[in-house]
A and B are shown apart, each in its own frame.
Chain A
Amino acid sequence: MGNRSSLLLREEEIAQIEEATGFTPNQIERLYSRFTSLDRGDCGTLSREDFLRIPELAINPLGDRIVNAFFEESNSDRVNFLQFMQVLARFRPIKKNGMNILNSREEKLRFAFKMYDLDNDDLISKEELLAILQMMVGANISEEQLSSIAERTLSEADEDGDNMINFEEFCKALERTDVEQKMSIRFLS
């Protein structure tokens, strides 16, 4: 597999991706081999089905939303490798004196925020929050209870009184959380 991937990936492509995402060439090749192994159709792009074929992702309550995040920027129903890498780049750990592209605290938070934002209006409404909660908690809790939790959460974060959470309020709510740490993955190199 490793052979094939390095064959398919040309030098300038690697350089381009490195420029755009900050991954090292080694990491890029490694991830490319993962990309190709996900790509069942061998067409150089991934479809939603390719993602959802991962068994663990299927049981992840947010699986759909995460997959969706990959497609948001492409505007089509397929993701190419560069787009794939651009999404993953958000989860690179922040280095003090290295290339930090796409992986700032804000970008990480933005990704989390997008999970809630079902209708892409840059605001989290009560319905959206409720929907996400339902995905996570499952059916064992009554609707009423969940909606009071959602209300409570909204009112806690809401500062301008519009009963929505905008991105600033979202960042404010998480300002004590070590997002840089929590939303980083050690990519093997």
Chain B
Amino acid sequence: MIYAASASEFLTICARRSSCTIFNANVEEKIHSIEFASDVYHYKNITFFNNDYDYETDIYRQKNVQKKDIILNSSNNMKPKTENLAEYNIFSIEFHRVETPFIIGIWIFSASVAKIGFHMTPRLSKIFPESCLLIVVGVIVGLILFKTNNLHMSPMTPDTFFLYMLPPIILDAGYFMPNRLFFDHLGTILLFAVVGTIFNTMSIGLTLWIFGKTGLFQCETPILDMLLFAALISAVDPVAVLAVFEEIHVNEILYIVVFGESLLNDAVTVVLYHMFESYSEMGSQRIAYSDILSGVLSFIVVAIGGAVIGIMWGFTTSFVTRFTYQVRVIEPSFIFVMAYLAYLTAEVFHMSGILAITFCGITMKNYVEANISFKSHTTVKYTMKMLSSSSETIIFMFLGVATVNNNHNWNTRFILMTVFLCSIYRIIGVIVLTGIANQFRLHKLNKVDKFVMSYGGLRGAVAFALVLLIDPNHVPLQPMFVTTTITVIYFTVFIQGITIKPLVKILNVKRAEKRKPTMNERIHERIIDHIMAGIEDILGKHGNYHVRDKFKHFDNSYIRPYIVRNYCGAEPKILETYSKLTIRDAMDLIRRNASNAAFSNGIDEVNFHRSSSNYEKLNASGLDTQSGWNIDFQELDYNPSKKDMGEAKIHHLLTEELCKPHKRHRRLSYSRHAVDDKDLNTQVNFKIHMNMRRILGEHKHRSRRSKKSSKEMKPNRVSFSKSLGTDLSKSETMKEVTPTATESVLPWKREDTIYFNKPLKVNEFPLWCSAKDYLENDLLKIFFFHNAG
């Protein structure tokens, strides 16, 4: 930026900058400089700073308009102040420049604060699902804005909804979709998503039209408008379903069927919606049969196209992450950006963006996880959850805010009729379709399942965004549709959403069980899969297992080797489970109480290293071994005269030495593009240190206790002292002169050195602290082995 006192000065300063600010220029000078700047130097942005006003002008785009502005604005402000040349504004307010992002930020902030609020009040959040509470907060905020006449910016436009708020939620859903479950039940899901949605649309639309014909609604109800409305109102909404089903934890089959339906019916909804929209724009007289046929065709194109675009982007993403191992920090951004691009690409071609991003997530997940680092994986996980939960929060809040406006057209009969029809046709549809699906299913959907499925058919923000998209010029009933849609959404989210939780409890719906597979389960279940695939082959039946087996084979031999960087064998899941379990075991062992049998073995071993290495050290340093060093804690007599050794000192030393933070191998120069993986270890090591320290502490207490009753030694100690071998047998006889353990370990701390002629030279650290001894220990080996590998 250039600050120039006048235009002429500015003209002389001209440099290759993109913007400049000019103080106190008069009009002619300004225009001149603008023209000069834009023509000669191609400046984009010039700010005139006259103390009375300021404005920015984008000359590139609107040179003429701005010229007029300049003259108009400055003619009001023709008070040239030549003397304030040196006076630069220290403080000035320029809100309009940041207005939009600022308001968005405030929205996210307040919505998130509201979310915190609910979870702070357990009683509220127990009864109501989060979505309800967010809508209520939204309504309150909307009322405030409405009363203060501040509602100049409509918070939720269809564009912001579809382009910014929906994709994160769907990506999250696709990325964390349980693939296997999804594909196992794909048939049922598709049946509900396609046939169910079409059935709902047609039946609701036609019934509304018939009732309209009777004059029940006291308004003109053209059939196409009714069908258009039915198309948007009949789709089950992924956002609402997710919000409610995540809280009620029904079993996974039920969850995947309802949720899968809500995801996949998007294609149907989009097609039906666009079809009826263009039909109603064309007018019902001019629709030819070919239009209807092309509508059916476009459904196939939209659905398949969306899925294919998503899958292609998914593979591309996986392929790109194959090469990111040098720049780990950008891995997450690839995943997000490319998924988003998949969504946008699909939207460009009027395909189903939801399907695209869902399939993108499903496709990339497995390969990407094999390619990116563990840290990136965590980042992706968290960021995805964060983005999706914030946009979900905002969507519900905006829904509340958008409720409060002046354009409502409340038609009680129409609304009641719609709510009634939505529920009744949902139930009929579910009953009929589960009847069909059960013919082909091994796991039959029972009555309770049917109930939850029909009750879980929640409508939500997608319907709302679609209804806002309707052009009131073509469809005069649009305000009524908006009101009705909002009511239906409120009905499903509030009444069904609140009651579904207790109902699920009363009906005793099988709940989901969260579990991590054990090694046995992982392996045996894979074996079972292979068996089933084999049996299906023998039967000559091309069932699920057969298809999965074929795909796995294809995947392993043709896809994975090219996409996954460190391709390691056919069963990545088994390895994954193994490494997860190994980490958990190691952490468990360390965390576990020292009283545990397995662990006391561990301690003994540690102790053994410590004692024996000390012993050798002492030998090496030329000490009189006959003086009877007893290095074993447990064999020591309680020695009250040494008790004042100072617990504090020991503690201090232990703290210093054991909890010494892991040495960081910082790079000499700060690098933005790489994260040193070694930094990761700090925390873990700290944990180990803490635990070792605690173990030692306990050990100390225990040994002191045992000293008090040295006669009655526990069996494992006896065996332990045997295990130390004959080297120590001599020392056991001379207990009178044995220094305490602390003294042997920290000899330089001892005040009285009467036993020694020369000061001790022992390694400053207890030897067992060194990594070598750690590694010899079985306990920790497993841990380090993993870290290294």
Main secondary structure of the interface of A (DSSP, over half): helix
**A56 neighbours in B (Cβ, 8 Å):** 533, 537, 546, 549-550
Task: Tell me if A71 counts as interface (CB < 8 A to partner B).
Answer: no
- A140 adjacent to B535 (CB under 8 Å): no
Residues 566-597 of B, flagged 1 when their CB comes within 8 A of A and 0 if not, give 01111100110010011000000000000000
- Nearest CB in chain A to that of B566: its residue: A140
Q: Choose the segment among A5-13, A16-24, A176-184 that binds chain B (4+ C-beta atoms closer than 8 Å).
A: A176-184
Give A181 Cβ to nearest chain B Cβ, in Å. 6
Task: Tell me if A118 counts as interface (CB < 8 A to partner B).
Answer: no
Instruction: Identify which of A63, A136, A174, A186 contacts B526 (C-beta below 8 A).
Output: A136
Task: Tell me if B684 counts as interface (CB < 8 A to partner A).
Answer: no
Residues 523-537 of B, flagged 1 when their CB comes within 8 A of A and 0 if not, give 111111011111111
CA distance A89 to B581 in the complex (A): 36
Task: Tell me if B304 counts as interface (CB < 8 A to partner A).
Answer: no
Given contacts A34-B540, A141-B575, A179-B528, contact A153 B523 (CB under 8 A): yes
- A181 adjacent to B442 (CB under 8 Å): yes
Task: Tell me if B407 counts as interface (CB < 8 A to partner A).
Answer: no
**A141 neighbours in B (Cβ, 8 Å):** 568-569, 575
CA distance A156 to B578 in the complex (A): 12
CA distance A132 to B531 in the complex (A): 12
Give residues 619-643 of B contacting A (CB, 8 Å). none
Given contacts A132-B527, A136-B530, contact A60 B537 (CB under 8 A): yes
- Nearest CB in chain B to that of A132: its residue: B527
- Nearest CB in chain A to that of B569: its residue: A140
- B568 adjacent to A184 (CB under 8 Å): no
Give B684 Cβ to nearest chain A Cβ, in Å. 21
- Nearest CB in chain A to that of B536: its residue: A185
- A62 adjacent to B531 (CB under 8 Å): yes
Main secondary structure of the interface of B (DSSP, over half): helix
CA distance A42 to B417 in the complex (A): 67
CA distance A173 to B522 in the complex (A): 10
- B535 adjacent to A62 (CB under 8 Å): no
Task: Tell me if B553 counts as interface (CB < 8 A to partner A).
Answer: yes
- B523 adjacent to A133 (CB under 8 Å): yes
Give residues 650-701 of B contacting A (CB, 8 Å). none
Interface centre among B534, B540, B568 (most CB of A within 10 A): B534
- A152 adjacent to B549 (CB under 8 Å): no
CA distance A145 to B543 in the complex (A): 34
- A173 adjacent to B575 (CB under 8 Å): no
Give B554 Cβ to nearest chain A Cβ, in Å. 10
Task: Tell me if B518 counts as interface (CB < 8 A to partner A).
Answer: yes
- B543 adjacent to A185 (CB under 8 Å): yes
Give residues 132-171 of A contacting B (CB, 8 Å). 132-133, 136-141, 145, 148-149, 152-153, 156-157, 170
**A132 neighbours in B (Cβ, 8 Å):** 523, 527
- A66 adjacent to B549 (CB under 8 Å): no
Task: Tell me if B520 counts as interface (CB < 8 A to partner A).
Answer: yes
**A183 neighbours in B (Cβ, 8 Å):** 528, 531-532
CA distance A177 to B550 in the complex (A): 24
- Nearest CB in chain B to that of A64: its residue: B534
- Nearest CB in chain B to that of A157: its residue: B520
Classify chain A's interface size: 35 or more
Number of A-B contacts (CB under 8 A): 131
Task: Tell me if B538 counts as interface (CB < 8 A to partner A).
Answer: yes
Given contacts A54-B538, A149-B574, contact A177 B521 (CB under 8 A): yes
**B535 neighbours in A (Cβ, 8 Å):** 66, 88, 91, 185
Give B251 Cβ to nearest chain A Cβ, in Å. 11
Given contacts A132-B527, A137-B569, A185-B532, contact A149 B578 (CB under 8 A): yes
Instruction: Identify which of B513, B541, B574, B575 contacts A185 (C-beta below 8 A).
Output: B541
- B528 adjacent to A60 (CB under 8 Å): no
Given contacts A60-B549, A137-B569, A185-B539, contact A111 B519 (CB under 8 A): no
- A173 adjacent to B518 (CB under 8 Å): yes
Give A37 Cβ to nearest chain B Cβ, in Å. 7
Instruction: Identify which of B441, B534, B574 contacts A57 (C-beta below 8 A).
Output: B534
CA distance A137 to B573 in the complex (A): 10
Residues 88-116 of A, flagged 1 when their CB comes within 8 A of B and 0 if not, give 10010100000000000000000110011
**A148 neighbours in B (Cβ, 8 Å):** 578
CA distance A57 to B600 in the complex (A): 50
Residues 499-526 of B, flagged 1 when their CB comes within 8 A of A and 0 if not, give 0000000000000010100111101111
Give B556 Cβ to nearest chain A Cβ, in Å. 8
- A140 adjacent to B570 (CB under 8 Å): yes
CA distance A62 to B530 in the complex (A): 6
CA distance A66 to B534 in the complex (A): 7
Give B716 Cβ to nearest chain A Cβ, in Å. 19
Instruction: Identify which of A112, A139, A185, A188 contacts B527 (C-beta below 8 A).
Output: A112
- A174 adjacent to B524 (CB under 8 Å): yes
- B528 adjacent to A182 (CB under 8 Å): yes
- A115 adjacent to B537 (CB under 8 Å): no
Given contacts A34-B539, A153-B520, contact A61 B530 (CB under 8 A): yes
- B553 adjacent to A59 (CB under 8 Å): yes
Give residues 148-175 of B contacting A (CB, 8 Å). none
Task: Tell me if A28 counts as interface (CB < 8 A to partner B).
Answer: no
Given contacts A140-B570, A183-B532, A184-B442, contact A156 B520 (CB under 8 A): yes
Residue ranges of A at the interface with B (Cβ–Cβ < 8 Å):
31, 34, 37-38, 51, 54, 56-57, 59-63, 66, 88, 91, 93, 111-112, 115-116, 129, 132-133, 136-141, 145, 148-149, 152-153, 156-157, 170, 173-174, 176-177, 179, 181-188
26 inter-chain pairs at a CB distance below 8 angstroms, sorted by A residue, are A54-B537, A54-B538, A60-B534, A91-B535, A112-B524, A133-B574, A136-B527, A136-B570, A137-B571, A140-B568, A141-B575, A152-B519, A153-B519, A153-B523, A170-B524, A173-B518, A173-B524, A174-B524, A176-B513, A176-B515, A181-B442, A182-B532, A183-B528, A184-B442, A185-B532, A185-B535
